[in-house]
Amino acid sequence: MKICVIYPPSRGIHTGNHESANQWAAELEAMGHQVRVAENEVTACCDAVVVLHGIRGREAVAKFKARRPEGPVVVVLTGTDLYGDGGPELRDTMRAADRLVVLQSKALERVPEEFRGKTRVILQGAEPMVGPLREKRTDPFQVCVVGHLRGVKDPMQAALASRLLPAGSRLVVKHAGAIAEEGFRPVVEEEQRVNPRYTWMGELPNDEVRRLMAESQAMVISSRQEGGARVVGESIVEGTPVIAARSEGVQGLLGDGYEGYFEPGATAALAELLRRAESEDGFLDRLTAHCERLAPQWAPSREVAEWQKLIRELEEA
């Protein structure tokens, strides 16, 4: 089958959407399909499309269905689709799709009941590039933030929380990510000027991001809204636990009973978790053990098996 994997325009920034599209393309090619990755563009010769983002991909879905009404369409729903207000246009795209994919278990509850029967849960597989390090950075005690700077990600929470730590704390925050919304540029510059604990590293190649994860004691995810963040699995397979704002997108990956949650925007609560991670005996070990138990769910072989099953369903329909 000739398959086109389509992801939303990224305005020159290398995004998680692009990473996901390339990963799925490689997996589909390994199954024997001919695959092309495109930025919001449908090629005339493809037999089927996998479209990442229901709202922003609606034009691609409509164009493909106009050309090939019987051609299979798979739409991967993101956090914006699931937890925003997509309105009737999103529902139309979901109706047009032959299969819907969500990236964590709780997301299924957000899919309208009429479409749940054609929805599949497929976690994004992650392979360690560095692997758990025997010696992580403890002096200073390094935590990382991995994500582009835009409002929905609430990206400065870790920096702000680090200001509330005791004077004797050795914690530092290393932040990798591009400035996706220009309003954050002066914010980052000012934070680095006034907060010696915080360093913005800009956009890094993926191998350097993974090295940053592997070297850190923990990764902070402060997003107010997540669909199924791929960095959660990437951090965990590198041996680094997550401290995260409580959201369905993260809870669907880590479970409801995880100790490493804080309420979105709760800077003082995040600071307390960081303090405990650095200085409370056993706390960081418990977070790490919890994440290690979950690591097998990100095995690439499991993701491939789920995509194989989905493609078979389309071929046999």
Q: Could you report the per-residue pLDDT of 203-223, keeping only the tens digit for each?
A: 999 999 999 999 999 999 999
**pTM of the entire structure?**
0.91
CB 182 within 8 A of CB 211: no
Condensed to tens digits (0 to 9), the pLDDT of residues 253-284 reads 999 999 999 999 999 999 999 999 999 999 99
- The whole-number pLDDT of residue 137 equals 72
Q: Is the pLDDT of residue 18 over 90?
A: no
Q: Give residue limits of the domains in the chain.
A: 2-125+299-316, 141-297
Confidence of residue 13 (pLDDT cuts 50, 70, 90): confident
CATH architecture entry for 141-297 = 3-Layer(aba) Sandwich (3.40)
Distance CA 47, CA 70 (A): 9
Question: Percent of the chain, pLDDT > 70?
Answer: 97
The fold of the 2-125+299-316 domain, in CATH, is: Rossmann fold (3.40.50)
- How would residue 230 be classed by pLDDT, with cut points 50, 70 and 90? confident
> Residue 236: what pLDDT?
96
If phi over 0 gives left and psi between -120 and 50 gives alpha, with beta otherwise, what is residue 111? beta
Tell me whether the CATH fold assigned to 2-125+299-316 matches the one assigned to 141-297: yes
Q: What is the mean predicted confidence (pLDDT) over 283-288?
A: 98
Distance CA 173, CA 145 (A): 7
